[in-house]
Amino acid sequence: MQELIVVTGASTGMGAATARELAGRGFHVLAGVRKDKDADAIRADGIEPVILDITDPDQIAALAARVEGDPRAVRAVVNNAGIAVNAPVESLSMHDWRWQFEVNLFGHIAVTQALLPALLRSKGRVVNISSVGGKIAMATYGAYAGTKFALEAVSDALRRELAPLGVQVVVIEPGGVQTEMAGRGIATANRLVTGMTREQHERYGDLVQAITAQATAFTKAGLPAGDAAKVIAKAVTVRNPRTRYTIGRDAAVLSRLPRILPDRVLDRILAANLRPHYPAKR
């Protein structure tokens, strides 16, 4: 029988591309979106949109009920939903810190918990979309990278818990990918700058501008979302998946640097790469 796959955060970017890639391979995809207009945009043969805010317990329960009421086996859940909130540790409000973790970590855990009974029955797969930021944390990425480091740790624990039960857990670590989320993250960073105090702006204003310029260039040079979707689909479908897949050459390189370089050396390399993006001094 045709198998089910749940993809969260399927409105745009990698999530939408992954839903289409998996539907094209013959799966029935339950594509999590937050708005009716996004549901209309993603609906297609093999793609059934479901309204899903992964921070909303009622919507998660409705998704679980939808899955439980379907006779088809659940091949995988792809935890893809996420946001990027980048700002210096000092200036980011505790509300924004908590919201970043609510979406990028706790929401994934909640969805996974709700769908695990079905995954255990089908011996399915959990695919968590992390980031190169789950291996290396650049300046102003404390909150975002913190959620991804945590997701990596939770994935390791979950993999070791579920392996004896026949459920596999895979982590995906994208680098630069051309997605709407990257653009929204840059816009959010620009908005947060305006909320800094004068002293914070003096300390971090140039840094945030440099990071934003670097992120823009990084995203522009990144892979198309469709290419990233093929890697995710491989993680879902290959018989014996690796525990981790990187997406893009940049991710492959950056994810290895913390393992082979001393912290101070890595600090200098990151600072040197950022330097050309600083605003010119008048």
Q: Check the CA dihedral 13-233-153-57 and report its sign.
A: positive
Please confirm, yes or no, whether 144 is among the known catalytic residues.
yes
**Residue pointed to by tokens 């740790």:** 153
Residue 126's DSSP bridge partners are 77, 169
Closest residue by Cα to residue 248 from 183, 176, 171: 176
CA dist 61 and 103 (Å) reads 16
Catalytic, out of 141, 144, 204, 245: 144
Closest residue by Cα to residue 151 from 188, 100, 117: 100
CA dist 47 and 15 (Å) reads 12
| Interior angle at CA 21, CA 52 and CA 30, nearest 5 | 25
Conformational region of residue 172, where left means phi above 0, alpha means psi within -120 to 50, and beta covers everything else: beta
Q: What would the two tokens of residue 236 be?
A: 């879902």
| Interior angle at CA 74, CA 68 and CA 79, nearest 5 | 100
> What is the DSSP code (8-state) at residue 189?
H
Contact 235, 168 (CB under 8 A): no
Query: Where do the H-state alpha helices sit in the chain?
Result: 13-24, 36-42, 57-68, 94-101, 107-122, 142-162, 180-194, 198-220, 225-237, 249-254, 257-260, 263-274
**Residues acting as catalytic residues:** 144
